[in-house]
Chains A and B, each alone.
Chain A
Amino acid sequence: MQASNEETDARLPLLEIRDLHVELTAPRRRLPVLEGVRLEVRPGETVGIVGESGCGKSVLSLSLLGLLPPAMRIREGEIRYASETLPHADEESFRRIRGKEIAMIFQDPMSALNPALTIGDQATEMARLHLGLTRREAREHAAALFRKVGLPRPEALLRDYPHRLSGGMLQRVMIAIALSCGPKLLIADEPTTALDVTIQAQILDLLRKIREEEGTAILLVSHDLGVIADMCDRIAVMYAGQIVEEGTVADLFDSPKHPYTIALLNAIPTPAKKHEKLFAIPGTVPALNERGTGCRFHSRCPHADERCLLQAPPVVTVRGVHSARCWLAAEEGGLSNAVG
């Protein structure tokens, strides 16, 4: 990996996901989980992935680190990190990158840390593995990182076990661990979902600080549109295994194009909607084996016609980085990208 090169061109994407297909191998059949995901993250950029349960956002983040569960595999597509392709099945190449170049923060710090090992054991593991530090050096390194993420009495903490810490403190420990090898990209999968509002505000503030001080790019996965809007430069909306709309915060919140994005925004209770009925999306997300060939959203879409049922819509560029996977947007005169 040449990624430690300080001169990485800001315009070159750090992470490129090209036409990624992930499938679930069930007995005697294969079910598509991700279908043609395409996304780029540039150095220092914060990109949000938003979607409801089962849309594939967590599978996407796991696939980037080669951490897919055994029943899932990448069928097609390419993941490139710093212009280098990561071979899907090559555990060795993922191991070199995981933790060092790309680090992950999980939703539930309580279950992501081993309760039988001290925090010190777990916080020093990556630095010893990737940076070749000795035990003592790694402990000093970890203590310095603990201080940086605002943890009190770092030396004592290293000797403590995870159950002694609150959720907010543990998430800080997780962030410190993720930062231990100075990664260029941080994947945060619902990092504040298990936390209270005031603690969530602290953790989001810490992520902002890290982004500013270290220039770390962040891929933030969340179901919470508020958190995503607050943190991100660019947002991708996922539905049933596909990115259905992508754009800047202003693109998506001021002029959403995909009916699903519009429906989501209308469904969130906000003070302005206090005395109105909230928009309810009829029906449910199609099951993995019921996605059909057309638009994945057609059965719940108020504008769907026969074409939406039969033909997969193209990804249409609306303006700049704003694109939508919808026949409606195509008719409005956007430029169609040549992808299915």
Chain B
Amino acid sequence: MPSVEPLVQFDNLQKIYPVSGFGRKKASLRAVDGLTLSIHEGETLGLVGESGCGKSTTGQLAARLLDPTGGIIRYRGADLAQFRGKSAKAMRRKIQYVFQDPYASLNPRHAVAELLEEPLRIHRIGDKRERKRRVDEMLERIGLEASYGKRYVHELSGGQRQRIGIARALMLKPEFLILDEPVSALDVSVQSQILNLLKELQSDFGLTYLFISHDLNVVHYMSDRIAVMYLGKVVEVAGVDDIYAKPLHPYTQALVSAIPTEHRREKRERILLKGDIPSASDVPAGCSFHTRCPLAHDRCRRAEPDLLPAGSGNRSVRCHLYA
């Protein structure tokens, strides 16, 4: 990446929840724990990892649906936390969120047109006629007839619902879209429609995407760069082809090798990890991956590695093997 200022920059971001247990010891759940990452204008950054690794929390922090307990999020260089009141509302227009399950995130008692109009009303944009024009325009843009404006969410198929979820996020003409598992609830044939639509919208509106997903094939298709998360931290960031062709971190290697593929004749060696991902309220000392890492040695149990540049190109990895 050229050294232009990134659109979004996470700097040592933390989200730690206090956990009140039965015992005397106060525990804490480290959902996001020292995350450093930048997203450049116009790119799609894929964020992958297993359940509980903190990828959705990261997305919600970026959209200010949650407040971080530490660290800074910069948007075009400005600290997001500095925006309050009116200026915070103005920032929200630029950063929008698409949820995984449109059925749960769209109000069932509002017709589609009302759902799409709501963001405009909240931000006092246009008069009634202007807003209707924008709603109709958006419906057409996402491939639904204007008559769908009168329908309710339960009358729509899963794919149509997700189109509405995306349309609603786009009503305020944002710059940055956080897509949190936008196609995980959809069947393959519908998934491809939505992925195509997202790519079109990105080039039409010049959007920047943070694409959160556990599906590595989908992430590969959508992303320019990929960040792999494990227990609240980024363990590897690299261009999409580098990550898939030559993953560096042992966790990334295991993830990539585990992608089920129909090309089974080009059989890869599968790396099977032992056990489960540890709980975020009981993170192992040293490198948090050492409990499952096939290559762990003494140092990994004692010292935590830093996220450092590695290999050629613009990639970083958090592993003692490359330090």
Q: Residues of A with Cβ closer than 8 Å to B?
A: 52-53, 166, 168-169, 196-202, 204-205, 223-227, 229-230, 249, 253, 263-265, 267-271, 273-274, 277-281, 284
- A198 in contact with B264 (CB, 8 Å): no
Interfacial chain B residues near A263, Cβ < 8 Å: 189
Do A201 and B192 touch across chains, with their CB atoms under 8 A apart? no
Per DSSP, chain B at the interface is: helix
CB pair A201–B50 under 8 Å, yes or no, is no
Q: Please name 16 pairs of A and B residues whose Cβ atoms are closer than 8 Å in the assembled complex, sorted by A.
A: A168-B276, A196-B214, A197-B259, A198-B273, A199-B276, A201-B272, A225-B262, A226-B217, A226-B260, A230-B264, A264-B188, A264-B189, A268-B192, A269-B218, A270-B221, A284-B157
Q: Is B314 an interface residue (CB 8 A)?
A: no
- Shortest CB-to-CB span from A290 to chain B, Å, is 14
Known: A196-B277, A273-B221, A284-B157. A278 touches B192 (CB 8 A): yes
B197 to chain A, nearest CB (A): 9
Min C-beta distance of B221 to chain A, whole Å:
3
Are A200 and B258 touching (Cβ within 8 A)? yes
Partner of A281, one of B189, B199, B259, B277: B189
Please report the total number of B residues contacting A with Cβ < 8 Å.
36
Q: How far is the CA of A225 from the CA of B188 in the complex (A)?
A: 9
The verdict on B291 contacting chain A, using a C-beta distance below 8 Å, is no
By beta carbon, the residue of chain A nearest B279 is A166
Q: Give the docked Cα–Cα distance between A3 and B157 (Å).
A: 45
Which chain B residue lies CB-closest to A222?
Answer: B260
Mask for B165-209, Cβ within 8 A of A = 1, else 0?
Answer: 000000000000000000000011101110110010000000000
In this complex, what residue of B is CB-closest to A269? Answer: B221
Which A residues touch B257, using CB under 8 A? 201
CA distance A202 to B262 in the complex (A): 18
* Contact of B258 with A269 in the complex, beta carbons under 8 Å: no
Give the distance to chain B from A121, nearest Cβ to Cβ, in Å: 24
B222 to chain A, nearest CB (A): 8
A230-B262, A267-B192 are known; give 19 further A-B pairs, CB within 8 A: A197-B214, A198-B255, A198-B273, A200-B258, A201-B254, A201-B272, A201-B273, A224-B260, A225-B262, A229-B264, A230-B264, A267-B188, A268-B192, A269-B192, A271-B244, A277-B199, A278-B221, A280-B192, A280-B196
Q: How far is the CA of A233 from the CA of B262 in the complex (A)?
A: 13
Write out the residue numbers on chain B whose beta carbons fall within 8 Å of the beta carbon of A196: 50-51, 214, 277
